[in-house]
Amino acid sequence: MWLAMFRPLFKSKKFLVSILVFIFIVLLGLVGPIVYPVDPTGYAGPFERPPSREFPLGTDTYGGDLLAKVLNGTRTSLYIGFLTAVISMSIGIIIGPISAIKGGIVDEVLMSFTNIVLTIPNILLAILIATYLKVRSAEVIALLLGVLGWPWFARAVRSQLLSLINREYVKLSRMAGYSDLRLAFEDLIPGIATYAFMSFILFINGGILGEAGLSLIGLGPTKGVSLGLVLQWAVLMEAVRRGIWWWFVPPGVIIVALTSSLLMITTAMDEVFNPRLREK
C-alpha cells in the first residue's frame, strides 16, 4: 500500500531533481569531510587565495581552507536543521493531538498558549535568548530554534486530527472496541503522516536558515564551523566589499540549494498527495 502510494511521486520531475540535489548536499556534508580531511579551523596556507587546485574554494583572511569549512559547515547546518526539526516536531506532535483529542478546556488553554508563541516574533526572541547564552553549542542553537518553531505545526495537526476524529471510520474503529492508543496508531497517525513528514522538512529549513541568521549577527554556535559562521566571518572581514566572492558565495549557494530542494520536495509531494492540487 505504501509503496503503491509513493509510486506516483517518482513520476514527478520536480521531486526527482530536488531529491537528487538534496542527496548530493547531504553527501557533501556527511562524506565530504572524510574525503577531504583538512582541519576546518586550522591554518592551511596563504591568506585570501582565490580557488586553485591546492585550495578548491580558496582561503580566508586567516588562511583557513574554505572548502574544508564549507564541507564541515554543511554537516553542522544539516545537523542543526535536523535537530531543530526533531524538537519542533516532538513538541507539536504532543500538543496538537492532546488539544484535538482532549478538547474542551484543555484544548482552549493549549491553543491559547500556541497562539501566543505563534505571535511572539520568534526570530527576535531567539536573538534575545542567544544573547544571554555565553556558550552556544550546535545543540543549544537547535534547541532554541526548535522550541520557538512548533506552533503552526501544532495548530495544523490539531485541525487535521479534528477532521479525522469525526470521520466515520474512526467511530467505527471505536465501536469495534479499539483503545485510544490503538486508534491513534492505526487510524489517526497514518492520516497525518504525509503532512507531518512535509512539516518535518520545513522545520529542517527553518533550522538551517535560523542558524545562518543567528550566526550572521554573531549569535551562532560558539565553537565549530557552520555555514552561517562562514558567512559571519565573511561579513566581519568585509569579504563582500573586497571582492572575495569565494568566501561568501559557496556557503550561500549550499544553503539555498539545500533549503529550496527540500521545499521543492514538499511541493512535489503536495502536488501528488493533495487531491485539490493534483493536475487534472
Which residues contact other proteins by CB under 8 A?
1, 14, 105, 108-109, 112, 115-116, 118-125, 127-129, 131-134, 167-169, 171-179, 186-187, 190-191, 205, 209, 212-213, 216-219, 231, 234-235, 240-241, 243, 245, 248-249, 252, 255-256, 259-260, 263-264, 267, 276-277, 279-280
Q: Which is nearer to other proteins, 38 or 174 (CB)?
A: 174
Give the nearest distance from C-beta 81 to other proteins in angstroms: 12
Helix, strand, coil fractions of the chain, as percent rounded to 5: 75, 0, 25
Give the nearest distance from C-beta 34 to other proteins in angstroms: 27
Q: Which is nearer to other proteins, 96 or 149 (CB)?
A: 149
59: which strand partners? 65
Closest to 213 in 3D by CA, of 274, 134, 125, 89: 125
DSSP summary character for residue 220: S
The residue assigned the cell 484535538 is: 100
| Contact assessment for residue 28 and residue 74, using Cβ atoms and an 8 Å cutoff | yes
Structural element, H or E, at residue 197: helix 189-216
Cell of 60: 580566508
65: which strand partners? 59
Residue type, position 203, single letter: F
